[in-house]
C-alpha cells in the first residue's frame, strides 16, 4: 500500500505546475538536506481527495539541516532570497539542526528525524527535487494516514498541544472527510 501511495503522491506533485515551480526555486538554493513540507504537501493531498481547488496556504515551510551554522539570521537571509524569487509566497525557513532547542528535545540527526517531532502523522511529510530533478519525499510515519485522511498525533509530539492545535485549525470545516483522532480515542 505504501508503494501505491508513494506513486500517487509523486503523480499529484508532478501534475501541479505551481508546486513544481516552488520545488525548483527551493532546489536552486543548493542547500543540503532541504525539503518543502507540512501543509504544502498535506493540504494538496487533502484537496485532491476532496476534489477541491487548492486551499490557500498560510506559508510554505522550507526546512534544511546545517549543523555548521545555527544562527536564525541564516534562515531570514534564505527567506529574503526566496521572497525575491517569488514574492507572492509567504516563505518560512527553518534550519532543523537548531529546532531541537526551540522544542526542548535532544539534537535532531537530520530533517527526517526532525519532522518525526512534527504534530500530526499527515503533516510530518516533506518533498524535494533532487539534483536529477526527481521528486523525493520523507515521511517518518509513512503516507497511509495522509491518503486515508486520518489526523492523529505523532508519537513525539505533546498531546495537549496537539489537541489545542486541532481545535484552532478547524480542518473539518475545510476537509469534511477527515477522521480526526485525539489521544483519548
The tens digit of pLDDT for each residue in 62-97 reads 999 999 998 999 999 999 999 999 999 999 999 999
Task: Give percent above pLDDT 70 in the chain.
Answer: 98
Which of 46-50, 53-57, 116-120, 156-160 has the weakest average pLDDT? 156-160
Residue 185 pLDDT > 70:
no
Report the pLDDT averaged over residues 136-164.
95
- Three-state secondary structure readout of 107-149: CCCCHHHHHCCCCECCCCCEEEECCCCCEEEECCCCCHHHHCC
Q: With contact defined as beta carbons under 8 Å apart, do 65 and 111 qualify?
A: yes
Residue that has been written with the C-alpha cell 516533506 in this structure: 126
All three cell numbers of 73: 539570521
Where are the domains positioned within the chain? Answer: 2-180
**Tens digits of residue pLDDT in 6-20:** 999 999 999 999 999
pLDDT of 2 over the 90 cut: no
Mean pLDDT over 164-173 rounds to 95
- Write the pLDDT tens digit of every residue in 101-126: 877 889 999 999 999 999 999 999 99
Exposure of 40 by Cβ count < 10 A (0-12 exposed, 13-18 middle, 19+ buried)?
buried
**Cα dist. 78→45, 51, 74, 94, 137 in Å?**
27, 34, 6, 9, 21
93-97 contacts at long range (C-beta below 8 A, 24 or more positions apart): 93/62, 93/63, 93/64, 94/61, 94/62, 94/63, 95/63, 95/64, 95/65, 95/66, 95/69, 95/70, 96/33, 96/63, 96/64, 96/65, 97/65, 97/66, 97/67, 97/70
User: Whose CA is closest to 121, among 63, 69, 166?
Assistant: 166
Alpha-carbon distance of 136 to 126, in angstroms, equals 8
Class of domain 2-180 as given by CATH: alpha beta
Taking residues 162-185, report their average pLDDT: 92
Q: What is the DSSP letter of 57?
A: P
pLDDT band at 147 (very low <50, low <70, confident <90, very high): very high
Amino acid at each position: 500500500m505504501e508503494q501505491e501511495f508513494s506513486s500517487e503522491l509523486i503523480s499529484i506533485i508532478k501534475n501541479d505546475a505551481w508546486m513544481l515551480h516552488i520545488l525548483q526555486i527551493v532546489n536552486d538554493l543548493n542547500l543540503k538536506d532541504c525539503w518543502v513540507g507540512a501543509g504544502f504537501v498535506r493540504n494538496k493531498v487533502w484537496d485532491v481527495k476532496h476534489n477541491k481547488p487548492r486551499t490557500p496556504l498560510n506559508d510554505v515551510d522550507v526546512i534544511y539541516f546545517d549543523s555548521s551554522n545555527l544562527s536564525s539570521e541564516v534562515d531570514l537571509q534564505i527567506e529574503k532570497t526566496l521572497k525575491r524569487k517569488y514574492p507572492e509566497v509567504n516563505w518560512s525557513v527553518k534550519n532543523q539542526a537548531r529546532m531541537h532547542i526551540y522544542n526542548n528535545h535532544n539534537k535532531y540527526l537530520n530533517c527526517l528525524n526532525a519532522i518525526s517531532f512534527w504534530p500530526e502523522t499527515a503533516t510530518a511529510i516533506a518533498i524535494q527535487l533532487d539534483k536529477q530533478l526527481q521528486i523525493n519525499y520523507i515521511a517518518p510515519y509513512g503516507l497511509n494516514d495522509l491518503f486515508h485522511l486520518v489526523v492523529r498525533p505523532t508519537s513525539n509530539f505533546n498531546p495537549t498541544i496537539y489537541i489545542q492545535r486541532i481545535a484552532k485549525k478547524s480542518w473539518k470545516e475545510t476537509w469534511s472527510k477527515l477522521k480526526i483522532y485525539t489521544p483519548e480515542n
